[in-house]
């Protein structure tokens, strides 16, 4: 008996008994499938013409009208799916990845249609998942092969291969979401079981192919009609929160991102170290942006080990407003940060925190408390002093060297003759501790300067920076423009001008209310009870 | 399916090995979990109702003025101030 017929008769039995596990086990599409499948493919190629094959499938899978209680019958969508399944094995050549992707897309699409059948579709839940997983894997492989996909792009400019695969899997996701086997808030049954499974697969695909913005639709639909996340298994919950966190992170919603990632982290057992590392890769920078630095307790955990060398020095630089250390550190880890999608965010979004710390430092270094304890004069920071330190840092970034032989922190082994030559060369001699670099200033990229590349730091820049920090709540007081000073408000009440002038970053961000009914704990896409 | 294609060699030899901690893996991908479900008591979420204060430091401002960086800034401020008075 031909393999095709044997195969179909088994499939028919599984449909009858609604055996989803066996259907998944039998309906394989992987190149690594057992030899039987390759024999089947050979048989399809050598013995069947399209017409003949379709007749055999129709005959072997008759639709029954009278189905006994508890049993099922094939349905038109299923028969069409089986036709595509055989066509897939007949035509697939895994050496040709693009064609394989095209065939598999067609197959998953027709599986999605069969799956949508209101009565019997649910038995294909696991098959849909395993086929979709294969499609996602193939798509991710192709995504790393621009040499192959470039040809496709020229045909269909608007849609990448990742997008079209995601769209197909999203169709199955929508079928799961709109299934009526169970109510929204009761234990998920039927296709509802698959909601987060398929959502996670689409998200994985979109993130791997860097099409993150397309995830929005999934989160919005989930928010509108999905059952609560808590009703689903732990692995699905954690995976979903991980992607929801990353989505919010890439949209600069750090508070929401931190909520999701933190919950994902806490719900992952300690022994799953690499998963926890992956979550911390985003949770730590997210919290740094919010003014919460990883504690020693956290940094000493095994999952934080690979991350400590990256994030700890960054925190040190932010603490003291040390732009030199900050830029050097980002440059050292540039490749890694870029691959993780963190580079641009950390490069730009941490700058307010560094300016805050730098202005704070300038204040501490220059402030002289009034001798008269009853003085009512407000404590101030001379913006000219902040300009001095900012210009100093800009010059250091451009490669200027400490010219004063007594300058602190200078390595002892530097040739004194060279230093003398440099000092003599200094144009600004007497007005700075720095000497210009012998080979001229280093050309900086826009993000490597204090303001914008090699642009000189002006008094206006400094004043505007302080005004921005006041507006953001990171500095408390006002700019006295006429006097060129930042005046601190509330020093008496706080007990110290530093505490009053530079409020706690995390508290400030946490207490921000841009709208009256804003709930900081609400995250779109995270359905709670 | 990835198994039967050779991984594309897109990155030339400019890789700096110390930047790639091995535990992080090549891909951006969040791997599948070995099991689908686990009881909550195996996680931190169960202990102390998600209390995580000990993991994060909210007060980290640096008041130290004796470190190298502060000393350099202090020197510069002094020198610039002196030059202004001249």
Burial profile B49-84: b = 16 or more Cβ within 10 angstroms, e = fewer: eeebeebbbbebbbeeeeeebbebbbbbbebbeeee
Q: What is the pLDDT of residue A528?
A: 93
pLDDT band at A22 (very low <50, low <70, confident <90, very high): very high
Question: For residue A235, which residues of chain B lie inside 8 Å, CB to CB?
Answer: 32-33, 35-38
Give the mean model confidence (pLDDT) for residues A360-386: 92
pLDDT tens for each residue of A282-305? 999 999 999 999 999 999 999 999
Q: What are the chain B neighbours of A207 within 8 Å (beta carbons)? A: 28-30
Assign A411 a pLDDT band (cuts: 50, 70, 90).
Answer: low
Q: Is the pLDDT of residue B46 over 70?
A: yes
Q: Does A502 touch chain B (CB under 8 A)?
A: yes
- Model pLDDT, residue A160: 83
d(CA A196, CA A373) in angstroms, rounded, equals 64
Compare CB distances from B8 to A145, A277, A361 and report the shortest one's residue.
A145
- The residues in A 277-336 lying below 8 A from B, measured between CB atoms, are 277-278, 281, 287, 291-295, 297-298, 305-307, 309, 315, 319-320, 322, 325, 332-333, 335-336
Out of A269, A320, A504, closest to residue B62 by CB: A320
Give the mean model confidence (pLDDT) for residues B35-60: 84
Please give the pLDDT value at position B13: 38
pLDDT exceeds cutoff 60 at B74: yes
Contact check, Cβ <8 Å, B50/A263: yes
Residue A150 pLDDT: 72
Interface test with B, best of A208, A361, A391 (most B CBs within 10 A): A361
DSSP run (H or E) holding A91: helix A76-91
Query: What is the pLDDT at residue A519?
Result: 85
For A482-527, write each residue's pLDDT tens digit: 999 999 999 989 999 999 999 999 999 998 877 778 888 899 999 9
Of A273, A295, A340, the CB nearest to B56: A295
Question: Is A136 a residue whose pLDDT tops 80?
Answer: yes
What residues form DSSP beta bridges with A136? Answer: none
Q: What is the largest CA-CA distance in chain B?
A: 76
Report yes or no: A175 and A190 within 8 Å, Cβ to Cβ: no
Q: Inspect the interface and report whether the beta carbons of B70 and A332 lie closer than 8 Å.
A: no
A-chain residues near B3 (CB < 8 A): 31-32
pLDDT for the residue A157: 56
Which residues in chain B have Cβ-Cβ distances shorter than 8 Å to A215? Answer: none
pLDDT tens-digit map of A111-130? 999 999 999 999 999 999 99
Residue B50 forms contact with A (CB below 8 Å) = yes
pLDDT score of A247: 97
Q: Give the gap in angstroms from C-alpha B35 to the nearest C-alpha of chain A.
A: 7
Q: Does residue A50 surpass a pLDDT of 90?
A: no
Please state whether beta strands A477-480 and A485-488 pair in parallel, antiparallel, or not at all (unpaired): antiparallel
Cβ separation of A204 and B29 shorter than 8 Å?
Answer: yes
Distance, in Å, from the CA atom of A258 to the CA atom of A235, rounded to the nearest integer, reads 19
Looking at every residue in chain A, the average pLDDT score rounds to 92
Q: What is the pLDDT of residues A415-447, one digit of tens each?
A: 666 655 555 554 445 688 999 998 999 999 999
Q: Quick check: pTM over 0.90? A: no
Q: Which of A385, A386, A374 is nearest to A469 (CA)?
A: A386
Number of Cβ within a 10 Å radius of residue A110 = 21
- For chain B, percent helix, then strand, then coil, each to nearest 5? 45, 0, 50
- Both tokens of residue A102? 């095209």
Task: Tell whether B48 is within 8 A of chain A (Cβ).
Answer: no
Q: Are A403 and A422 in contact (CB under 8 A)?
A: yes
What angle do helix axes A234-250 and A254-266 make, rounded to 10 degrees? 160
* CA A449/CA A482 separation, integer angstroms: 28
- Looking at residue B29, its pLDDT comes to 75
Residue A177 CA: distances (Å) to CA of A174, A193, A227, B70, B73: 5, 9, 8, 58, 60
pLDDT value, residue A371: 85
Instruction: Give the pLDDT score at B24.
Output: 32
Of the CA atoms within 13 Å of residue A31, those in its CB half-sphere come to 16
pLDDT at B21 over 50: no
Contacts of A66 (CB under 8 A, 6+ apart): none
From A357, A366, A434, residue closest to B77, measured CB to CB: A366
Helices (H), A228-290: 234-250, 254-266, 273-289
pLDDT of the residue at B12: 39
Give how far Cα A11 sits from Cα of A2, A109, A462, A524, Å.
15, 19, 74, 42
Is residue B2's pLDDT more than 70? no
Contact B79 A432 (CB under 8 A): yes
Structure tokens at A481: 């423009």
Closest CA–CA distance from residue A270 to any residue of chain B (Å): 7
Identify which of A134, A502, A504 has the shortest CB distance to residue B58: A504
Nearest-5° Cα angle at A130, A125 to A134: 145
* Buried-state track A309-329, b at ≥16 Cβ within 10 A, e below 16: ebbbbbbbbbbbbbbebbbeb
A259-276: pLDDT as tens digits: 999 999 999 999 999 999
How far apart (Å, rounded) are the C-alpha atoms in residues B50 and B40?
11
Percent of chain A residues topping a pLDDT of 90: 80
């Amino acid at each position: 008996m031909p393999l095709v017929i044997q195969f179909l008769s088994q499939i028919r039995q599984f449909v009858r008994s609604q055996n989803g596990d066996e259907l998944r086990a039998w309906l394989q599409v992987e190149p690594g499938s057992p030899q039987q499948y390759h024999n089947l493919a050979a048989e399809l190629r050598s013995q069947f013409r399209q017409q003949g094959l379709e007749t055999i499938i129709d005959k072997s899978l008759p639709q029954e009208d009278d189905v006994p209680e508890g049993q099922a019958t094939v349905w038109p969508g299923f028969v069409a799916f089986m036709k595509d399944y055989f066509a897939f094995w007949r035509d697939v050549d895994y050496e040709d990845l693009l064609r394989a992707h095209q065939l598999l897309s067609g197959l998953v699409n027709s599986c999605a249609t069969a799956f949508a059948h209101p009565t019997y579709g649910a038995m294909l839940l696991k098959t849909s998942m395993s086929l979709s997983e294969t499609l996602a894997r193939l798509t991710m492989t192709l995504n790393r092969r621009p040499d192959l996909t470039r040809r496709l792009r020229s045909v269909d400019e608007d849609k990448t291969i990742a997008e079209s695969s995601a769209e197909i899997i999203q169709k199955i996701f929508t079928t799961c979401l709109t299934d009526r086997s169970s109510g929204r808030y009761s234990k998920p049954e039927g296709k509802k079981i698959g909601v987060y499974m398929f959502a996670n697969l689409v998200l994985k695909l979109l993130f791997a192919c860097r099409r993150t913005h397309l995830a929005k639709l999934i989160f919005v639909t989930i928010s509108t009609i999905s059952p609560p996340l808590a009703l689903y298994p732990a692995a699905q919950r954690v995976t979903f929160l991980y992607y929801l966190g990353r989505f919010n992170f890439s949209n600069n919603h750090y508070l929401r991102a931190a909520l999701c990632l933190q919950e994902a982290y806490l719900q992952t057992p300690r022994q799953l170290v690499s998963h926890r590392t992956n979550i911390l890769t985003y949770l730590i920078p997210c919290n740094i942006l919010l003014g919460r630095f990883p504690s020693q307790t956290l940094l000493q955990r095994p999952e934080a080990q690979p991350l400590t060398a990256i994030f700890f020095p960054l925190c040190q630089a932010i603490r003291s407003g040390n732009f030199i250390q900050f830029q050097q550190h980002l440059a050292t880890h540039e490749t890694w940060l870029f691959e993780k999608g963190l580079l641009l965010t950390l490069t730009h979004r941490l700058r307010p925190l560094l300016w805050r710390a730098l202005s704070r430092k300038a204040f501490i270094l220059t402030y002289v408390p009034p001798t008269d304890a009853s003085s009512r004069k407000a404590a101030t920071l001379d913006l000219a002093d902040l300009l001095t330190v900012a210009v100093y840092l800009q010059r250091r970034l451009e490669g200027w060297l400490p010219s004063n032989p007594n300058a602190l922190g200078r390595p002892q082994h530097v040739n004194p003759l060279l230093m003398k030559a440099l000092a003599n060369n200094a144009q600004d001699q007497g007005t700075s501790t720095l000497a210009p670099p012998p080979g001229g200033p280093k050309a900086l990229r826009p993000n490597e300067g204090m303001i914008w590349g090699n642009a000189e730091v002006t008094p206006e820049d400094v004043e505007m920076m302080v005004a921005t920090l006041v507006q953001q709540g990171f500095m408390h007081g006002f700019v006295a423009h006429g006097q060129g000073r930042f005046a601190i408000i509330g020093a008496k009440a706080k007990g110290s001008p530093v505490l009053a002038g530079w409020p706690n970053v995390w508290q400030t961000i946490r207490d921000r209310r841009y709208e009256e009914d804003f709930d900081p704990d609400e995250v779109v896409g995270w359905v709670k009870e | 399916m990835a198994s039967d294609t050779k991984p594309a060699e897109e990155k030339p030899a400019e890789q700096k090995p110390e930047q790639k901690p091995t535990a992080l893996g090549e891909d951006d991908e969040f791997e599948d979990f070995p099991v689908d479900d686990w009881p909550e008591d195996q996680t931190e979420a169960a202990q102390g109702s998600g209390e995580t204060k000990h993991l994060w430091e909210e007060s980290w401002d640096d008041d130290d003025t004796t470190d190298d960086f502060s000393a350099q800034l202090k020197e510069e401020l002094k020198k610039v101030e002196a030059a202004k008075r001249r």
